[in-house]
Amino acid sequence: MVRAPASAPAPARATHTEWYGWQILLVDGASLASGIATGLLSEPGTGAAVGLTGYALGAPVVHWSHGQVGQGFGSLALRVGTPVSLAFWSLLAFGLSGSDTDTAALAAGASAVLGMGAAMIVDVAVLAHEKVPNEATQARAKPEPSLRWTPTAGYDGKRNALTVGLSGSF
């Protein structure tokens, strides 16, 4: 009986995939909360502007901070394109059907909100993954200098002022 030679163990992979979608969920929650708080404490429309800006730009910034430039721009396109296109198609469909303006506007708004939710789910579930080196690979690699930055936002109720900025380290 002839036996096959023992095979060598498979080499360890140099990287593994990690999910950072929880960071995007935190940013989305903060955007929603700041939009609501600003809307309650300031002039009409300001809260929507703050919330929508955080919704559109928050997740791409998280992707970019992980070095995932492509996912960041994909997230931006997804978060802007999905609700806008769904609202457009709703307006078109209701406009062509002869519906009144209020019904068409309500359908467009509902479609945009559904599109925002769908974009957030796809962003967190599909795009928020990165390849990171395993510990053995990391131990051999030299640490590279890095620049890190984080957007900041806040509201000062005493002065009725919204602050936006960047903080970072290098």
Q: How confident is the model at residue 141 (pLDDT cuts 50, 70, 90)?
A: low
* Contacting residues for 110 by C-beta, under 8 A, at least 6 apart: 90
- Residue 9 is predicted with a pLDDT of 59
- Residue 102 is predicted with a pLDDT of 86
Give CA–CA dist 110/72, Å, rounded. Answer: 26
DSSP H stretches of helix in 12-100: 21-41, 46-65, 69-96
Give CA–CA dist 46/54, Å, rounded. Answer: 12
User: Rounded to 5 degrees, what are φ and ψ at 150?
Assistant: -140, 135
- Residue 52 is predicted with a pLDDT of 92
Q: How many CA atoms lie within 13 A of 64 on its CB side?
A: 15
User: Which tops the pLDDT comparison, 43 or 124?
Assistant: 124
Contact yes or no for 59/28 (Cβ under 8 A):
yes
Contact yes or no for 60/75 (Cβ under 8 A):
yes
The mean pLDDT of 89-108, rounded to a whole number, is 85
Asked if residue 148 has pLDDT above 90, the reply is no
* Contacting residues for 55 by C-beta, under 8 A, at least 6 apart: 28, 31, 32, 35, 79, 116, 120
Q: How confident is the model at residue 39 (pLDDT cuts 50, 70, 90)?
A: confident
Mean pLDDT of the chain: 85
* DSSP-assigned letter for residue 127: I
CB atoms within 10 A of CB 23: 18
Tens of pLDDT, residue by residue over 15-33, are 888 999 999 999 999 999 9
Tens of pLDDT, residue by residue over 52-70, are 999 999 999 999 999 999 9
